[in-house]
Amino acid sequence: MNLLFVGDVVGRAGRQILGQQLDRLVDQHAVDFIVVNGENAAGGFGLTMEVVREFRKLGVHAITTGNHIWDKREFIPELDRCPDVLRPGNYPDGTPGRGCAVFETNTGIRVAVINLEGRVFMSTLECPFRKADAYLEELAGKADVVFVDFHAEATSEKMALAHYLDGRVSALIGTHTHVPTADAHILPAGTAYQTDAGMTGSRDSVIGIRKEIAVEKFVTQLPARFEVAKKDPMLCAVLVAIDESTGLASAIERIMVLDS
């Protein structure tokens, strides 16, 4: 099966190019399952039900997130009502939502999606390594394919978790930095890996934010109200081919589509 993972969708520019390009990518690569990281999709910060419905209409099967999932407070109660929207699973027990879910493709392949958040330079959460172990124990016999979105800042933490899970998950792809990395490969035991998928949003920006505002903040060190950039959208994604009989990856490809 072919799984397409689209990196952090940032604001309207990201949603627009996703809507313009997704069908073509699905047809071109015979995609069976689509995962999109949507934590910045609503105005650059968080999610709304309107955006979730927009993604569903595009055919997205699962929406992963990260630390910005809490930015739209009105959406937080929806996390318990949206089985296709995940938040990082290593938040404390009792936090709204879920960090793992199993979906089924039209051909009957059971795809588990796990969402985790890093701890280095980020929040003090439960250990993502041990939480991954717990999820995999729960998933035993219940999934043919296991995909992990690891939303983390440190490349070392992403790489370490990938090696820790090598051979136990089909793919682990990093998100959060919004910059696609050139290290897509298959680890020795069969897990596909890329440190960061990159973002789907304005290329003429500073990680999706209007460049003028970001530059001024760095120069002056004064507070600034970030605004999402809109020009020159691009789509960053990762395509993974997986043998559903073994649950291991056979190929991985970086994808970048620029606005025509």
Instruction: Catalogue the active-site residues.
Output: 68
Contact of 227 with 215, CB cutoff 8 Å:
no
State phi, psi for 80 to the nearest 5 degrees.
-80, -15
Distance CA 31, CA 230 (A): 28
Burial class (CB in 10 A: 0-12, 13-18, 19+), 129: middle
Contact 65, 41 (CB under 8 A): no
Alpha helices of 93-251 — where are they, by DSSP H?
A: 128-139, 155-165, 211-220
Q: Token pair of 203, please?
A: 């290329």
What is the spatial distance between Cα 29 and Cα 164, in angstroms, rounded to a whole number?
A: 29
Task: Express the helix, strand and coil content of the chain in percent, nearest 5 each.
Answer: 30, 30, 40
The continuous run of DSSP H or E covering 162 comes out as helix 155-165
The size of the chain, in residues, is 260
Which residue, among 144, 188, 195, has the nearest Cα to 173 in the 3D structure? 195
Sign of CA dihedral 137, 76, 237, 208: negative
What is the distance between the alpha carbons of residues 32 and 39, in angstroms, rounded to a whole number?
A: 23
